[in-house]
Amino acid sequence: MSTQTPRTSKTRVRVWTVDGSRTHPHADHLATEEPLEIRVLAGGERRTVAVTMRTPGADFALAAGFLFSEGVIGSRAEIRRITYCVDPEIDADQRYNIVNVELRAGALPDLATLERHFMTTSACGVCGKASLDALHLRGQAAVPPGPAVSADLITILPDRLRAGQGLFDVTGGLHAAGLFDSTGNLLAVREDIGRHNALDKLVGWALLDGRLPLHDHIILVSGRVSFELVQKALAAGVPIICAISAPSSLAVSLAAEFGMTLIGFLRGERFNLYTGRERIRTASCPEDARQRT
């Protein structure tokens, strides 16, 4: 199951930089943005379940992570194989922008949970209560207690994530999602022009590598955190999710509902702790906060 793609993650362009009264041309790189169509195959049937604008690279992980976080599949074992669509009838320019995920099942699974992806582009769900109810209905469990970590450890994560953003260094235009262990070691980084894609690539990598559930890990995302980002972390069993920017109200509700620790505005030595205070130790409260929630 090769994860390589001939599509490039960065595109070379010629630009003119204006600096005061001076203008000079030079070469630059942009983050590539192209569509990825995700198809599911089972029992002789085929269905397109999503089309997302993404940065090429880790496409198989993106497809697997998307299907897992949306509840279409529940484990790596359900996947027979993942391939690019290189059928002769497909235009050559698009063959590596279509991924087929073949399942072992004898029929296509229920894909009703994916309908909202064809109704909205806000990536914030359709209805808050309906979205939370849907997670309960599909049997999503709350995360276990997980690790208790120091506030000092949390504050060093952004610099470690930034150091792992190789494509951002070249293009300056990509989101990132990073996976850390409970001692702050950066285990993996995935980048994409889309925030949700970056996290899907990360969760998909963990799924395909047999690492799920991630009960003793921390996820950090480079931008704001929405309901869907928390949902993806929850599906992977992550107890602590951090964001450089703000959370949405529904993201906070979801984290509280399922026992997750949600941190936002993580910058320098400061951050806001919205839910799950019991997992974060501070100098003023070094004792286990689980006794004080």
Sign of the alpha-carbon dihedral angle for 153, 155, 156, 158: positive
Q: Is 124 a catalytic residue?
A: yes
Using one digit for the tens of pLDDT, what is the confidence trace for 149-184? 999 999 999 999 999 887 766 777 799 999 999 999
Model pLDDT, residue 19:
87
Q: What is the pLDDT of residues 1-48, one digit of tens each?
A: 544 556 788 888 898 889 888 998 989 888 889 999 999 999 999 999
User: What is residue 131's predicted lDDT score, i.e. its pLDDT?
Assistant: 66
Computed over every residue of the chain, the mean pLDDT equals 87
Query: What is the total residue count of the chain?
Result: 293
The domain covering 149-291 belongs, at the CATH homologous superfamily level, to Cytidine Deaminase, domain 2 (3.40.140.10)
pLDDT digits (tens, 9 = 90+) for 41-86: 999 999 999 999 999 999 999 999 999 999 999 999 999 999 998 7
Give the active site residue among 85, 124, 127, 285: 124
Q: What is the mean pLDDT of residues 199-213?
A: 97
DSSP string, the chain: -----SS-SEEEEEEEEEETTEEEEEEEEEE--EEEEEEEEETTEEEEEEEEEE-SSSHHHHHHHHHHHTTS--SGGGEEEEEE---TTS-GGGGGGEEEEEESSSSPPP-GGGGGGGT-SSSS-S-HHHHHHHHHHTTPPPPP----EEHHHHHHHHHHHHHT-HHHHHHS--EEEEEEETT--EEEEEEESSHHHHHHHHHHHHHHTT----TTEEEEESS-B-HHHHHHHHHTT-SEEEESSPBPHHHHHHHHHTT-EEEEEEETTEEEEEE-GGGEE-SSS-S-GGG--
> pLDDT tens digits for 93-130?
677 899 999 999 999 988 876 655 543 343 433 455 56
Q: What integer pLDDT is reported at residue 124 of this predicted model?
A: 37
pLDDT band per the 50, 70, 90 thresholds, residue 137: low
Residue 201, pLDDT > 90, answer yes
Report the percent of the chain where pLDDT is more than 70. Answer: 85
